[in-house]
Amino acid sequence: MAGINLREIAMETVIEILENGQFSHIYLKAVLDKYGYLEKNERAFLNRLVNGTVERKLQLDYIIDSFSKTKVKKMKPLIRTVMRLGVYEIYYMDAVPDSATCNEYVKLAKKRGFAGLSGFVNGVLRNISREKGKLEFKDLSVKYSMPQWIVDKWSADYGVEKTEEILAGFLSSEDLCIRVNLGKISREDLSERLKKQGISVRICDTVVSACYISDYDSLASIPEFNEGLFYVQDYSSQLVPYAAKISRSQNILDVCAAPGGKALHCGELAYKGQVVARDLTEQKVSLIQENINRTGALNVTAQQWDATVLDEDSIRKYDTVIADLPCSGLGIIRKKPDIKYNQTEESLSELTQLQKKILDTVCQYVKDGGVLSYSTCTINKSENENQIEDFLSSHKEFKVESMTQLFPNEEHDGFFICVMKKN
């Protein structure tokens, strides 16, 4: 496409994420949508360059600081971003030779008014390219680009060896996981239809509704997605209704439901029952409603409600309450790579207080003999096992039926599920 400079778009996108605090998954999607007319391979290049640079930021900064007298922190934001993108390409992409990569970023610096620093950009990038592979990353924080406090926390929780396994899991590649609407089509039939469009499909062995897809252009261009025959939903998230043993005539409440994947899944399994899907803001509720409309679910209702506020009318009303609560999100770093730089130990402690408050409130909606399902997309004991221990000590009427901690690998993200039965 004449006149479109992919590296310049990547640079502007990374500046928005790393310098201006935009959320990577939301902002990058908007950029890819905006440039939807680009070739599939061009959008793939852009996606990889932006995500990879954000994901490996700490390691890239370490490499740059090892070769540059001016440290990354002291650089102007645009130059810092140009350097990070250049080093990511040199280390992790082979679309063009390193010398051409260096030239592209020198040209970019000049074009954006930094001609005086183009020699610096050129010198450092060429030096890094010559010495590539000689630097050793002994430190787990640098090797896996993970803030030190998180490495320390997980090492204390799980030991150093397991922590390295977790960190490596985040950097492994992952195909898009979808949940097939089994009420409308079988996995095999959907798979055949997608393969005819050149989409690669892998059927998941362990979750009956899950498949993995790759080599597609965009979801919006897949007719089966628009018809509501499948839904984008993580493997771990699909486990929640199965772990809670949702059955056909149950009444279910999902208290923090947006964008609605679990609620819709519950609606399919409890096809003779009713599902109420709630969330805090109007925007989140409209997201749930949009997905209800697209999939044609007749037994799922979206409502706006603050989960920390007791709803008197819901007390002892539901067979199952799904509480997939706000959390640090440190289990889904692969999908939201900037999340690891934005969380702090303080924000973690605030989240555990919020989780506790919601659990204390929503457990009252469970009927006697009913089930409370607690889940998070994180792998911190303070938000998971310790939270459950704390809850059970003050709610003797509940006991644990099952508890699962998933760690990131090629099949799924980090995720925690605990199912508790009310006596």
Q: Which amino acid makes up residue 321? A: V
The token pair that represents 259 in the structure block? 């964008």
Q: Which amino acid makes up residue 368? A: D
Question: Considering 102, 266, 377, 418, which one is annotated as catalytic?
Answer: 377
Short-list 10, 11, 78, CA closest to 38: 10
377 classed as catalytic: yes
Angle between helices 77-92 and 98-111 (to 10 degrees): 170
CA distance 223 to 344: 42
CA distance 144 to 136: 12
Core vs surface per residue 107-123: b (16+ CB within 10 A) or e: ebbeeeebeebbebbbe
Alpha-carbon distance values, 114 to 64, 83, 101, 289, 312 (Å):
18, 13, 17, 48, 62
Cα angle for residues 237, 369, 389 (degrees, 5° grid): 60
Place of tokens 């950009």: 121
Neighbouring residues of 203: CB distance < 8 A, sequence distance ≥ 6: 187, 188, 191, 210, 211
Judge whether 263 and 288 are in contact, CB under 8 Å.
yes
The token pair that represents 42 in the structure block? 């061009």
CA distance 27 to 17: 8
CA distance 325 to 323: 6
The token pair that represents 409 in the structure block? 């690998």
CA distance 18 to 255: 32
Neighbouring residues of 55: CB distance < 8 A, sequence distance ≥ 6: 145, 171, 333, 334, 337
Task: Write out the DSSP string of 31-66.
Answer: HHHHTTTS-HHHHHHHHHHHHHHHHTHHHHHHHHHH
Q: Which residues are marked as active site?
A: 377
